[in-house]
Amino acid sequence: MRRARVIYKGAVVEAYEHERGLRLADGRIVTEDEVEWLPPVQPQTIFTLGLNYADHAAELSFEAPKEPLVFLKGPNTLVGHKGETRRPNDVTFMHYECELAVVIGKSGKQIKAERAYDYVAGYTVVNDYALRDYLENYYRPNLRVKNRDACTPIGPWFVPKHHVEDPMNLTLRTYINGDVKQEGSTRDMVFSIPELIEHLSSFMTLNEGDLILTGTPKGSVDTKVGDVVVTEVEGIGALENTIVGDESFHRS
């Protein structure tokens, strides 16, 4: 069953899908608009993949990497479903990245690809925004681009792995204000989920609760203040986020 973490009447509770909205762990049934959505998982280490779809790499004029291009981000980046993400006024190109996120279920090191799914707890959806104006060629993509507060919407659901028949064959779609802008499939990843788990655990321990953001296919276009961006992964969920401007933060 797909599950979420929400705030209802001032308390954090676990919630499940229900025909009338959400069923809270304590039995109450509420509508989706009555709750504030939190990130469905609280990860420790967050791994992110750059250029993990060949068509997206080509779109950004890069060759697909020979080894996974991995970087890390902090928990300050996460924001729940129906959250807001700031677009600073000096930014000319801020694009979404619809991604399947893998939640690690148990710790391991030197995991072989054949056994990798044993270490997966489930999946969720992320939108890993990039503010390209802030890109610098030092530890690129640098944290000023990728580690901003609320720049990584996540959710709405955590989906246990047994609900997902083949995570390597899911359609990804991004909509801006209802129009499809990006479409791809997880089968086009350069490095598959098992390969990523094998690679990362070959040199460091993966821990329960770690999160791997598996990259985005081509179709990244600019977003504007006021845009409602929905990133959707087939069977996992549709994650909504709204772009807000500096004015909301009293920045000039």
Partner 1 sequence: MKQLFVKMRGVEQPLHGQWKEGHDQVEVNGLDYSIDTFPFDLPTAGTVFGTLLNYKKEYERLAPKMNEAPYNAPPKAPILYVKPINTLLAHQLPIPLPTGYEEVTVGATIGLVIGRRATRLSKEEALSYVKGYTLVNDVSLPHESVHRPAVKEKARDGFCPIGPWIVAHDESMNPNDWTITVRINGEVKQTIRTNELIRNVETLLEEVTDFMTLSEGDVLLIGVEGDLPVARANDLVTIDCPAIGTLENRVMEEKVIKEVYV
| Residue 72 sits in the site that holds partner 1 (CB under 8 A) | yes
Give SS3 for 183.
strand
> Least distance from C-beta 238 to partner 1, angstroms?
27
Considering only the stretches 3-11, 25-33, 68-76, 119-127, report the one whose residues sit in contact with partner 1 under the rule CB under 8 A.
Answer: 68-76
Shortest approach of partner 1 to residue 210 CB, angstroms?
8
40-45-48 Cα angle (round to 5): 85
Quick one: CA torsion of 235, 82, 5, 206, rounded to 10 degrees?
70
CB 218 within 8 A of CB 184: yes
Q: 92, 139, 162, 165: which one contacts partner 1 (CB under 8 A)?
A: 139
By CB under 8 A, name the one of 10, 11, 92, 137 that touches partner 1: 137
CA distance 186 to 8: 34
CB of 8 to partner 1, least distance (A): 24
**Smallest separation (angstroms) from partner 1 to the CB of 21:** 31
The reply on whether position 205 binds partner 1 by CB under 8 A is yes
Decide if 48 contacts 214 (C-beta within 8 A).
no
d(CA 157, CA 152): 15
Site of interaction with partner 1 (CB under 8 A): 44-45, 47, 69-77, 109, 134, 136-144, 147-149, 203-205, 207
